Structure 1
Amino acid sequence: MSATRERLLAVGVTAAMVGALLSRRRVAQGLLALSRLASSAAASPTAPLSGCLYRYKHPSWPAPLQAFESPAAHAHRKYCVYIGGLTDGLLACSYVEALGAALDERGWSLVQPVLSSSYAGFGCSSLQRDADELAPLRHTHTHTHTLTTAAAQLLRHIADREEGDAEFALVGATPLSAGSHSTGCQDAVTLLRTAPPELRCRVRAAVLQAPVSDRESQTVEQDSDGSRGRLLAEAEAKLAAGEGEALLSQKYYGFVPISASRFASLVGRDGPDDLFSSDFTDERLAAKLGHMGLAGQRATAPSHPGLRTLFCFSGGDEYVPPSVDVPLLARRFVAAAGGAENGASALILAGASHNLAKPPRAAGEFVAAVCRTLDEI
């Protein structure tokens, strides 16, 4: 066993033993030095990410969800919630470990939620459901809950745990797998539009990594047999018949059962998932992204203390059609969010792939950009 693994094992065993006896806050204070050791080990590209896995649940939900918080023990009151894309769960992108270590150095904890839409669950879910699971309303009167609340519920869980003393940042990410794009970005946008004002006031930053249009990305993916058009027609017919939750006859990308409503949202025009398309007018983009700036937030949450939003584009994104002028689109997104005076900015990572797997420098440049954004709060 390597020295690094031995140190991490010692941290995990010690945290578990002490955690059985003491409260979370006392554990955080008492194990802070050990946490620093684990974070140092995690900075290695091959080291595992240490953390604490826990459940969170709304009273109306039939079962809890889970979140993984890093480092394993800390005294931070600031939390960066990392939201992956379709098919994603924990460790969605290759830079997550480095991001966790960099955040810890700046007094932020990294939180990775496992939503009901994670992995192959997205086909029967929605952006609103994700947002609810992250930041829901205080009172929910339905067992199905509208699912932007999972995200909201996570924020509320942490805020309640910290006795109201917590701030948040959102990083909407793009996944490692092909065919699944920037749903983490769409989740962040949806959460900041629909979560209760008291929770949105705690969100001080949002970083959208590769905010790509799912609809437009379909044009760069092969559809030699025309199945995409047939499935969209089937989905629209089911929606017209009031059968939006019915599954389509063919699985999405061959392995994910998908409902008519979710397929139409991802592939059709101007649905809930269609937030970043370049063919929208400036007015339509403002309607979709206007709340991503401070003025937009204060329109419904007047006491919001400030919001920084970074649209981070990949200059070599394989899911962006060649016809899209990425620098122009970046400027349009910033303008739609209210401009620099409202905390919005954009960055293009030259030559970077969709998920920042290449070139080798891309992931580090993105982590540095996240840190700069948080440092501006």
Structure 2
Amino acid sequence: MNHRNDSLHIKSLPGELCLYDEQQHLAAFVAYPGNKAMVIFITGLTEGLFAPSYFGPLAKALYTRGFTTVQPILSSSYHGFGRSSLDQDVAELDTLIDFLSLQYEPDSFFLIGHSTGCQDAVTFFRKGRNAHRIRGIVLQAPVSDRDFLHSLPHAEERLKKAEEIYATQGPETLLNDPLFTSVFPVLTARRFLSLAQRLGDDDMFSYDLTDEELDARLRHMRNVPTYAIFSEKDEAVPDSIPYLDLAKRLCAVMGATCYMLSNANHAISNSEDCTREFIEQVVNFIEKVYSSTSE
């Protein structure tokens, strides 16, 4: 007999699909609309609606506690990330919040970032026009794309070739060499270097960053309640990196609450127990922050 918990295998949700940016034809899915507090969920590289797999169960759990979850499609969603940037994501998130504010009149916004969505959340809170409206942030699997890319074969060759193409052919040149397409199908030299170059725009969580470098990139997170949730078995983290030590260091700089999910992988897709644990942690954090700041 299959005893699986159907609440963790949600493939459809009630909600509204909204066009929040008519010029760029960008849409967002608003799950369980009607609550005054809205949680914006930002996915990682190559992902879009209903990714990762815990999105549906998380949205339903948040709804039962009085929160509406919003998942936007950004220009960087799916394979659009290869031509996009964190700054463009920030601008589109600002447009999204403007739209949601007019359409639904929420009293609060929260952000949840998954994987590279964490870079978006961190950057938005530093640069976003609506950053002051964010009441709390959850970072799930805030890992270093640079550390991961450096662990792959031909990493140094790939980096040097991207730097050469950037300098000689321009930052928006598409990297069509199999050296790159074997990793990412559509990618500009600029975006690759943002992900792979030391102190590139996306380089926020790397193990070799100094205290001063981390401080410059993350210290502003001390101004918002932040919950950083790491996965013990995260396949995007090279085995050579002491991940627990790095997690504690990152959280210390951000002033964040740190939580390590035992045995969970990058997207928390390998264990229903881990999924339940993660959802419980997120919902409790958001509810606690919302209650404390509403008093």
How many Å separate the matches in 2 of 1:335 and 1:346?
9
Corresponding letter in the other structure for 2:165: K
Task: Give the C-alpha shift of residue 187 in structure 1.
Answer: 0.8
- Tell me the amino acid that sits aligned with residue 214 of structure 1: D
TM-score between the two structures when normalised by the length of structure 2: 0.90
Q: Highest relative contact order (Cα 8 Å, sep 6+), 1 or 2?
A: 2
Check whether the contact 1:235–1:244 (CA below 8 A) recurs between aligned residues: no
Runs of 4 or more off by more than 6 Å in structure 1?
A: none
TM-score of the aligned structures, taking structure 1 as reference length? 0.71
Aligned-partner Cα distance in 1 for 2:218–2:181: 28
Whether 1:190 aligns to 2:123 is yes
In structure 2, the residue matched to 1:123 is: 82
Paired position in structure 2 for 1:45? 9
SS at match of 1:293: helix
Q: Tell me the matched-pair count.
A: 282
Structure 2 CA distance for partners of 1:321 and 1:63, relative to 1, 3 Å: closer
- 1:98-247 matches, cutoff 5 A: 98-135=57-94, 153-163=95-105, 165-173=106-114, 182-196=115-129, 199-221=130-152, 223=153, 226=154, 228-241=155-168, 243-247=170-174
Contact in 1 for aligned 2:10/2:57 (Cα 8 Å): no
Deviations 1:86-115 (A, max 9, x none): 110001111111101111111111101011
Question: Given the alignment of the two structures, is residue 329 of structure 1 paired with residue 246 of structure 2, yes or no?
Answer: yes
Structure 2 residue ranges without an equivalent (≥5): 1-5, 290-295
SS of the residue corresponding to residue 277 of structure 2 reads: helix
Give the whole-Å Cα distance in 1 for the aligned partners of 2:64 and 2:136. Answer: 17
Q: For residue 184 of structure 1, report the CA deviation from its aligned partner.
A: 0.8
Mapping of residues 2-81 of structure 1, within 5 Å: 43=7, 45-57=9-21, 62-71=23-32, 74-81=33-40
**Mapped partners of 1:247, 1:212: distance in 2:** 25
Q: Which residue of 2 aligns with 1:356?
A: 268
Q: Measured at CA, do residues 257 and 75 of structure 1 come closer, stay the same or move farther in structure 2, by a change above 3 Å?
A: closer
* 1:67 counterpart SS class: strand
Q: Distance in 1 between matches of 2:208 and 2:282?
A: 28
Paired with 1:203 and 1:275, the residues of 2 have a C-alpha distance of 20
Residue ranges of structure 1 left out of the alignment (5+ in a row): 1-41, 136-152, 174-181, 295-306
1:85 corresponds in structure 2 to: 44
Mapped to 1, the partners of 2:169 and 2:183 lie a distance apart of 25
Contact 2:207 2:241 in 1 (8 A): yes
Q: CA 1:310–1:57 in 2, change beyond 3 Å: closer, same or farther?
A: same
Higher Cα Rg, which structure: 1
